[in-house]
Each structure stands twice: as structure tokens, then as C-alpha cells.
Amino acid sequence: MLSLDTRFVTQAVADHEWQQLETQIIALHEALEQGRVPGADFRGWIHLPSQTLAEGLDPLLETAASLRDEIDALIVIGIGGSYLGARAALEFCRSPYWHLRSREQRGGPAVYFAGNDLSGPALADLMRVLEGQRVALNVVSKSGTTTEPAVAFRVLRHWLAQKMDAETVRRRIIVTTDRQRGALRKLADEEGYLSFVIPDDVGGRFSVLTPVGLLPLAVAGIDIRALLEGAASQEQALARPELRENPAYRYAAIRQALYRKGKTVEILVTYEPSLRMFAEWWKQLFGESEGKDGKGIYPASAAFTTDLHSLGQFIQEGYRHLFETVVHVDDPGEDVTLPSDPGVDDGLEYLAGRSIAWINDQARLATHVAHADGGVPNLLVRVADRSERSLGELFYFFERAVAMSGLLAGVNPFDQPGVEAYKRNMFALLGKPGYEEDRRKMMERLGHQAR
Ligand code: PA5
């Protein structure tokens, strides 16, 4: 079961501050539950785990089962909330190298991701890697209009069409989008693609437990029921607002207390490569939810011990605006033991017989103390293992926490108006119909750089 350890939070939260935060949290919790908060239309994530389990997963599991028989590779086309959760889950429960294993070792198709950038070389390379394999596409976009996935989808659809008949292409494309709106919904209906719906009341970064994440994960053979059960256990565990009973709200309260004391950057720290993409999911969740109205804790991430050899100096002694949240799995999985080699003087014999997990954990404990001593408060969120259930707990815990943290900061945690600013400029430069005046202004500002 997930737990929060605050013993390395050296910058104490005064009793009166804690009481004030708790009073605010109790009121905000009630407002959140009753829909009296900004962005109230996007609270579908709150009861999503229990509701999805109650509704059942049959159509999704049936689609996944037939794809598992029929294909070697699924390409998930999406960006931001429409891909990060699935990718984080896949790497968390399997490994970053999982797609490199053979089909037999994996027991089913591999899952790849595209449409999360505008890179020609990356897309060309993906097509080269998958040449000759049986491929299906799952294009995911809530709005159905996002440029990156739309561009990749068009390229990959044409690529598939060169290899197979139209009926097979149609069967190999699955759309996950809005129930009614957007170009993707229209295309799915016109072309007869199988489609899954992203609920209206669930925003992109909160959508991992909808078909956005569940379908590709089921195709990969991930136990999505266990994932939802883990999340549902947190949905229940975090139902009370009192700080002593609610670790997600304690985490939110400590973050806001640290922020008020000048800790404006939070580093999500992981010690296993399989958790790196989880940190990317977390960054979007916290960055888009809190970074607005000139406020917000900047969400960064670091992969230790790797980054202790690049960022470690700054974290230990640089500008003191940092705090860390370590996500730790007690049992990281298959382990490797250091063999004994008394004949070789490499200074490591004292560790012979020790597991790498144990050595890694000593590094973690040493770093907690060093960073706390250096003025970097550390929070520790721990789960039992890398199972689907533990991951479900983590997903829900952080969703609950960010909602409360954003409300405490006085922002709307469920919108993302700032994401549109670059898009308007980009559409102008791309010459999208309707952006003619913006284009003229952009060309003027960029001068010779615009082509
Ligand atoms: O959280 C959000 O809503 C956004 O970051 C989206 O996830 C991202 O922009 C992708 O949007 P869409 O799913 O509409 O393509």
C-alpha cells in the first residue's frame, strides 16, 4: 500500500500553518466533491477507477485480445496526456527495453509511440524498424485536432495503405477520441474505424485510466483490472480530507508550505530506469495543473543515481529553491548480485554477494540525508513493487494531490489555457486557413527567419 514518508522534510511546517492549511483543505475538499471549484466540469477522474470497474472492461479487453493475436506492433499516436500515461505504465510494469524483446518473450505485440513530436527522422526510423511487421495504429487525441498526432497519423496511415488492402487498414486503425467533437471523431465515423471514447469530464493529463491508457496497456498484456483496482483503493483511502488520514493532501499541504518559503522547484526523483517515464507523466500533471496565473512550483525530474553525477552538485549546493519528491518501489523486481572475485583488486570485494537493489537503496538513503543536510527537503512516496496495482495507487495519489495543491494555490487545476499560445503562432506560420492576419504579424516579427 502506498505511503508518504516526510522524515526528511527539514523545513518544518509550523503548527499554526498546518492548522490553517487543514482548515482550507477541508473546505476545498468539500467544494471539489460538490463541484464548487474552478474547472468543476473536469472532475470525472475522481470516481473513474471505481466507476470503470463497475461498468466492466469487456469491449476494451476483447479488442485488445484480438489485436494481440493479429499484430506484432501497436503504434500509439498521441501527445501529452494522450500518450504519457500509457508509456509510463508500460515502462513501469515492464521495462524501457521491453519492445526489444522477442514476441515470444513478450507474449504479444510490442507497443511503440509516435506523434509526440514533429521529427521526420524519428518517424522515418520507426517505419524502418517496423518494416515487414504486422502493425496496427491507435490514434489518441481528445480534441482530435492536435497537429503532432494528426501529422503522424496521416503519414502512418498512408504507410499502412501501401502494404495492405483497404479493409485490413480499416481494421488496423483504432481511434480514441471525444464522443462527438473534433476531426478525428468525424474521420472515425466516416471511415468506420473502431473507436473508444474519452469521457467529456476527464482532462487529457487525468486520462490514463480511460481507454487512452487502458487500450494500449491491455494490448501490451498489462493487467488493466489490477491497475484500476490499485487506483480504486486510493480513491477509497483518500476520501477523507483530514490531514492525518489523507497522505495525498499532506503532500499537497507540504508542497504549498514549501512554496511559500521559496521552494519553487520540485524534483521528482526516481532510482529505477523503469520509472523515468512515470516522472514525465507526473511533470505534465503538475506543470499543466499548477503553472498558471504567474504562479506554480516548477516540476522537474531527475533519475538517480545517474543524475547525481550531473545534477548532484547543483542539488547539493546550488541556489536553494529546490525540494525533492522521491518515488520509491520497495521491491524493484528481478535483481542481480555482485559476484565474488577475490583475485581482482577493484576495491569491490566488500560488496560481494550484495544485490544491486541493496546498493541502490544505500545510495538513496545516503542521498536523502545529504540533500536534507544541504537544505533540500525530501519527501518520499513509496509503493510495494512495480505491479499494476502499485502503479494504479501512484496515478491516483498524484491526481488527488495535484487537484488539492492547485486549489490551495488558488488556480484552476483542470484547465491549460497556456498550451494554446504557441499553437496560434504555429498555425499562422504553417499557413492554416483562418490565420492569415496572424501570419502577416508573425512574418513581420520574425523577419527573414520565417520561410
Ligand atoms: O492535458 C491536456 O489536455 C493536454 O496536454 C493534452 O493532453 C495534449 O495537448 C494532447 O491533446 P489531445 O488529446 O487533444 O490531442
Tell whether ligand 1 has an atom less than 6 A from the beta carbon of residue 355. Answer: no
**Is residue 127 very low, low, confident or very high in pLDDT (cuts 50, 70, 90)?**
very high
How far does residue 145's CA lie from ligand 1's centre (Å)?
A: 10
Q: Across residues 297-319, what is the average pLDDT?
A: 98
Q: Is 423 a catalytic residue?
A: yes
Q: Is 349 a catalytic residue?
A: no
CATH code where residue 253 lies: 3.40.50.10490
Residue 110, φ and ψ in degrees, nearest 5: -90, 160
Does 450 have pLDDT greater than 70? no
Same domain, 372 and 263: yes
Tell whether ligand 1 has an atom less than 6 A from the beta carbon of residue 79. Answer: yes
Instruction: Evaluate whether residue 43 is within a structural domain.
Output: no
User: Which residue out of 77, 82, 185 has the highest number of ligand 1 atoms within 8 Å of its CB and is therefore the one to mutate?
Assistant: 82
Instruction: Evaluate whether residue 396 is within a structural domain.
Output: yes
CB atoms within 10 A of CB 109: 25
Same domain, 28 and 172: no
Instruction: Evaluate whether residue 413 is within a structural domain.
Output: no
- Tally of domains in the chain: 3
Q: Across residues 339-344, what is the average pLDDT?
A: 94
How far does residue 361's CA lie from ligand 1's centre (Å)?
A: 36
pLDDT digit string, tens, across residues 143-186? 998 999 999 999 999 999 999 999 999 999 999 999 998 899 99
Instruction: Evaluate whether residue 451 is within a structural domain.
Output: no
Same domain, 87 and 177: yes
Tell whether ligand 1 has an atom less than 6 A from the beta carbon of residue 139. Answer: no
Q: Across residues 82-108, what is the average pLDDT?
A: 95
CB atoms within 10 A of CB 38: 15
* Sole residue written with cell 463497475: 54
pLDDT at residue 421, rounded to an integer: 86
Instruction: Evaluate whether residue 231 is within a structural domain.
Output: no
pTM (two decimals): 0.97
CB atoms within 10 A of CB 309: 9
Rounded to the nearest integer, the mean pLDDT of the chain is 96
Rounded to whole angstroms, the Cα distance separating 154 from 127 reads 13
- 327, 278 contact by CB (below 8 A): yes
Q: Across residues 198-209, what is the average pLDDT?
A: 97
* Sole residue written with cell 566488500: 350
Same domain, 255 and 385: yes
Rounded to whole angstroms, the Cα distance separating 241 from 337 reads 44
Which residues form the domain of 153? Answer: 48-225
Instruction: Evaluate whether residue 415 is within a structural domain.
Output: no
Instruction: Evaluate whether residue 397 is within a structural domain.
Output: yes
How far does residue 421's CA lie from ligand 1's centre (Å)?
A: 14
